[in-house]
Amino acid sequence: MKISKSFGFFFIFVSILILLNPTYGEEKSLFSIDDYFAVVSMNVADMTEDGQWLACTQSTRGDSLPRDNYRYGDPTYTAPFQLDVIVLNTETGEQIKLFDQKKQVRSLTWSQDGKMLAFFIYENGAYRISIWNRLSRNFEDVEVKQEFPIASNSHLAWSPEGDKIFFSVRDPEWNKKSAELFQYATNGPVIIHDSEEPFLLWDKMRNRLGNLMIPVVWDRNKKKLTKLFPETLLNSVRISKDGNHMIFERDVTEKTDYDVRKSIYLGRALSSSGNWFVHPDSPFRSVKDLKTYGKSMRYSAFTYGSPETIVAMVVADREGWPLKIIGGYKGALPSALALVRGDVDLTGAYYGGVGELARAGKIRAILTMGPKRVPEVPDVPTVGEIGHPDLEIFTLDTCLHAPPGVPKDRIEILENAFMKTLQDPEFVQWAKGAKLNVAWLNGAETTKRIYGLFDVLGKYKGTIEKYMEKK
């Protein structure tokens, strides 16, 4: 019986985990944070065509420490991860450990004949390629000129004969450009993310500069590195079975398009309604009390674009009570904690994000944004119930959409499958247990809702811009 490669991977992987677990079959004990960082995981990186040899890595969570989180998003930063590299014979159980100690290794790739294993290894601040010969058990290094460093997210592929290796390198100026852009995006006294630019800074760094590389091929016999074509944005690369063709996906996006109305909507899966919260000791029992307060309402916000914040702008403008939005918070919870401390009078958030504070009596809900009351606070009215039904559209929806140009027959297939899943009793039961608010709409209904949202936003554009100018 012939076993598929994917099934073989799964079976062997599970078997290895069981065999390597020293506590298998023993009574369970409490799991501590130290245990979390000490748990050993094994991953099957690649398997030879005949299924006889596995290239595996073994590591713990602690092997990825210490990590410099201040450099998150920096294209030039390579976070640490140390691994044991093990080659395993699936017929005999023989295990060959390639190194005496853990190394920072990735992209373990067997040659088509299964005799050689190539991989990237990170040493002295740069990646290099090493080849392990399974028969001789010796190593062979690929010599790449220092001015063309290997890309940290490069592909790695063999030619059918095993005489060539395909991968990608960086332009000599890439590191300097990337480092300067990251410094500008994180260390300036004023950092500007401008949607008028083709790409925002983070998109430019991670998705643009990060994928900018030069595809090359290394000839093992001639010891020669050849550029295949100029520097470009590469998303993925693979070599055809016969080695005559390179198939690659290249990013040709010229500008981020923020108009989501161009998408083809297949349907909505989830919908959640946010709330306004006040301090439990405040005199505000309802939204009417905000108007009679006589002072400017201080509202904490982590973003000016959240549904609760936009509704606050519109309702305050309609009803004529002064509102001062205080931004700069790092999330919904910090915004709510400002309310607990008494720094502000009002805040907006989804109950799921601040539920612990609400259940502890630290904050109190006075308004719900969507068309239905929230189960956690059933006595709190909706924005429609207090006289603003057009604002019920400001909910947090999870939708499935496709890019423009997808053929109509494919859209129909995807939409039908999506709707069938959302209405499946087993899925509904699972979603209920996961506390997900399933509120499905088909493609036409979702599209109508999206356009309706933009109509309301356009209607109150002046009001929203007025508060944006006050920042």
Could you give all domains of the chain from N- to C-terminal order, each with its CATH number? 5-69+77-172+211-250 (2.120.10.30), 260-471 (3.40.190.10)
Residue 20 has what pLDDT?
Answer: 46
∠ CA 225-228-234, rounded to 5°: 115
CA distance 161 to 164: 8
Write down the pLDDT at residue 11: 45
Question: Which one is predicted more confidently, 29 or 227?
Answer: 227
pLDDT band at 46 (very low <50, low <70, confident <90, very high): very high
Residue 29 has pLDDT above 70, yes or no: no
Indicate if the pLDDT at residue 89 is higher than 50: yes
Q: Is the peptide bond before 389 cis (omega within 30 degrees of 0)?
A: no
The tens digit of pLDDT for each residue in 437-459 reads 899 999 999 999 999 999 999 99
* Alpha helix ranges (H) inside 97-232: 174-187, 201-202
CA-to-CA distance for 335 and 348, rounded, in angstroms? 8
Give the per-residue pLDDT at 339: 93
Tens digit of pLDDT for each residue in 293-313? 888 899 999 888 889 999 999
Reply yes or no on whether the pLDDT at 194 is more than 90. no
pLDDT digits (tens, 9 = 90+) for 343-392: 999 999 998 888 889 999 999 999 999 899 988 899 999 999 999 999 99
* pTM reported for the whole predicted model: 0.60
Class of residue 257 by CB neighbours under 10 A (exposed 0-12, middle 13-18, buried 19+) = exposed
Asked whether 446 and 414 are in contact (CB, 8 A), the reply is no
User: Which pLDDT value is given to residue 28?
Assistant: 55
> Rounded to the nearest 10 degrees, what angle do helices 307-319 and 461-469 cross at?
100
Return the axis-axis angle of helices 425-433 and 408-422, rounded to nearest 10°.
Answer: 60
Residues 6+ positions from 275 with CB-CB distance below 8 Å: 308, 348, 349, 350, 351, 365, 366, 367, 368, 369, 374, 377, 380
Asked whether the predicted pLDDT for residue 98 surpasses 70, the reply is yes
Ranges of beta strands (E only) in 77-199 are: 84-89, 95-97, 105-110, 116-123, 126-133, 139-142, 157-158, 164-169
Q: What is the pLDDT of residue 470?
A: 64
Give me the helices (H) in 345-441, please. 351-359, 408-422, 425-433
Contacts for 407 with CB less than 8 Å, ≥ 6 apart: none
Predicted confidence (pLDDT) per residue in 125-153, tens digit? 999 999 999 999 999 988 887 778 999 99
DSSP β-ladder status, 212-219 and 139-142: unpaired
Provide the mean pLDDT of the chain.
88
Residue of 381, 288, 306, 290 whose CA lies nearest to 344: 290
Diameter over CA atoms, the chain: 86
